[in-house]
C-alpha cells in the first residue's frame, strides 16, 4: 500500500466467539462463524472518514452499508453472516446519513451513496457552513479521491456480486416510488408489487435473473434500467454499468426480522450455481 493512497489502515483482528455464559453449551444452537475486523481511515480534505471491514469465515460474498443512520440493516447482515459467513463493508462516521468534511476552512457534506461517479459527486457535494454556497473544484476533487480509494481498497469494482444494505422511513422511499408517475419511475425497467409485502420492504436489483426469482417468491422488487442516462452516482448505477450483479435489501428500521429473512434470500440467490450459470443481464428497452 503506497502513501499516495493517503489511507491509514489500522488492523484489529478479533476472534468473535459467542457461546453464551451457561456452563453447558446448547448443542442444538448453530455455531457462529469467527470473524476478523479491519478498521480503515480515509482522508477527505482535512477530515478522516472511517470504514470497517468484517470478514466472517471464508465466504467472500460482499455486503455494503454506507449510510451510518441505517443500523438495522447492519444488524440484520451481521445476524446472517454469523451463521453463513460473508464480507461486510461499513462506512462509519457520525451516525447520520450525510458525511461532513472540512477543506480550506469551509465545511461540506456528501451523501456517501452518491459518490460512485463524477456526475454523482457534483450533484451531492454541498456547503454546510453557508446556505447555497459555491462548491469549489477542490472539494469535488477531494470527494472523487476518497471515492476512488474506497472503491479500490474494498475492490468493489471487482466483485462477482454486491448486496447493499439500506433502511427507509415510514412514508418515504417505498415500492410505490418506482411506479409510473413516481419520483424514480424513470430508473425502472420492471416492477413487481407484492400484494402481501409491506411497501417499504423491497429489493432493488440490477440483474433480471434475480428480479425474476424474487418475483416468483412474491417480494416487492424493482429491476433497474441499466441503460438510464441519469447518473446519480449511486452504487446501483455503478454496479449496473459494470455488469456487477447487485441486490439492495431495503426495509423499515423496525422490520429487523424481515430484513434478516430478505438478506438470507439474497445470499441464497447469489450463491445459487444454477442462477449464476444462467444467462445474465436484463432486457433492453
Sheet hosting strand 221-224, strand order edge to edge: 8-12, 35-44, 47-56, 86-92, 62-65, 162-167, 246-251, 202-205, 221-224, 188-192
| pLDDT mean across residues, the chain | 88
Q: Could you report the per-residue pLDDT of 81-129, keeping only the tens digit for each?
A: 999 999 999 999 889 999 999 999 999 999 999 999 999 999 999 999 8
Domain residue ranges in the chain = 1-13+35-94+160-273
Instruction: Note the residue count of the chain.
Output: 285
Is the pLDDT confidence value at 73 over 50?
yes
Neighbours of 94 (CB within 10 A): 11
Higher pLDDT, 274 or 99: 99
6-62: pLDDT as tens digits:
444 443 334 333 333 334 445 566 666 678 999 999 999 999 999 999 999 989 899
Amino acid at each position: 500500500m503506497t502513501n499516495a493512497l493517503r489511507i491509514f489502515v489500522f488492523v484489529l483482528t478479533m476472534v468473535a466467539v459467542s457461546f453464551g455464559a451457561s456452563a453447558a453449551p446448547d448443542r442444538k444452537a448453530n455455531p457462529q462463524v469467527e470473524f476478523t475486523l479491519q478498521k480503515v481511515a480515509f482522508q477527505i480534505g482535512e477530515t478522516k472518514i472511517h470504514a470497517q471491514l468484517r470478514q466472517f469465515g471464508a465466504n467472500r460474498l460482499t455486503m455494503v452499508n454506507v449510510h451510518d443512520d441505517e443500523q438495522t440493516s447492519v444488524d440484520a447482515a451481521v445476524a446472517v453472516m454469523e451463521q453463513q459467513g460473508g464480507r461486510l463493508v461499513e462506512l462509519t462516521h457520525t451516525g447520520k446519513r450525510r458525511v461532513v468534511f472540512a477543506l480550506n476552512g469551509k465545511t461540506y457534506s456528501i451523501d456517501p451513496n452518491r459518490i460512485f461517479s463524477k456526475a454523482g459527486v457534483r450533484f451531492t457535494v454541498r456547503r454546510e457552513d453557508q446556505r447555497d454556497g459555491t462548491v469549489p473544484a477542490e472539494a469535488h476533487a477531494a470527494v472523487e479521491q476518497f471515492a476512488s480509494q474506497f472503491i479500490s481498497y474494498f475492490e468493489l469494482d471487482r466483485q462477482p456480486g454486491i448486496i447493499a444494505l439500506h433502511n427507509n422511513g415510514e412514508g418515504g422511499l417505498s415500492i410505490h416510488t418506482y411506479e409510473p408517475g413516481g419520483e424514480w419511475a424513470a430508473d425502472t425497467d420492471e416492477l413487481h408489487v407484492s400484494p402481501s409485502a409491506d411497501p417499504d420492504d423491497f429489493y432493488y436489483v440490477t440483474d433480471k435473473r434475480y428480479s425474476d426469482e424474487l418475483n416468483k417468491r412474491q417480494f416487492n422488487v424493482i429491476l433497474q434500467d441499466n441503460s438510464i442516462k441519469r447518473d446519480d452516482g449511486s452504487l446501483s448505477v455503478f454496479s449496473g454499468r459494470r455488469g456487477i450483479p447487485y441486490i439492495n435489501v431495503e426495509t423499515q428500521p423496525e422490520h429487523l426480522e424481515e430484513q434478516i429473512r430478505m438478506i438470507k434470500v439474497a445470499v441464497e440467490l447469489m450463491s445459487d450455481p444454477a442462477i449464476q450459470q444462467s444467462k445474465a443481464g436484463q432486457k433492453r428497452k
